[in-house]
């Protein structure tokens, strides 16, 4: 069945350093890959997404890259700040399918040390 693997499960960086989170998906029909940030006790919030017709997308300090051949996609956060500390989830779906349900990874707890 559909599966998304996410690594690492925890990541600790110093303020100002970069953070990279990687995901692998199993369903080759997947064509939409969002990333959500979830702070403790709060709702998942979309921070960036990418569609399969694009290899890279950037929004200020956040970027996402996609390798369709390898079925990998990654989140890159540069110049990390303490407020970036949260759990980050990657997800995959087949946008344009009947459902567009999201298949989530298991999450990465990012801790940015001041």
75: closest CA among 83, 29, 2, 87?
87
| Total count of residues recorded for the chain | 114
Residue 107 contacts another protein per CB under 8 A: yes
**DSSP label of 10:** E
Residue 3 contacts another protein per CB under 8 A? no
Q: Does 111 bind another protein (CB under 8 A)?
A: no
| Footprint (CB under 8 A) of another protein, residues 4-43 | 4, 6, 34, 36, 42-43
Q: Does 98 bind another protein (CB under 8 A)?
A: yes
Give the residues lining the site for another protein (CB under 8 A): 4, 6, 34, 36, 42-46, 49, 89, 91, 95-107
């Amino acid at each position: 069945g559909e599966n998304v693997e996410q690594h690492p499960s925890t990541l600790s960086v110093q303020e100002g350093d970069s953070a990279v989170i990687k995901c692998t998906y199993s369903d080759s029909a997947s064509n939409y890959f969002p990333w959500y940030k979830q702070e403790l006790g709060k709702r998942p919030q979309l921070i960036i997404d990418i569609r399969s017709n694009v290899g890279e997308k950037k929004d200020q300090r956040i970027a996402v890259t996609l390798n369709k051949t390898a079925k990998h996609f990654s989140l890159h956060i540069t110049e990390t700040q303490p407020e970036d500390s949260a759990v980050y989830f990657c997800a995959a779906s087949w946008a344009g399918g009947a459902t567009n349900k999201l298949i989530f990874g298991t999450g990465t707890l990012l801790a940015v040390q001041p």
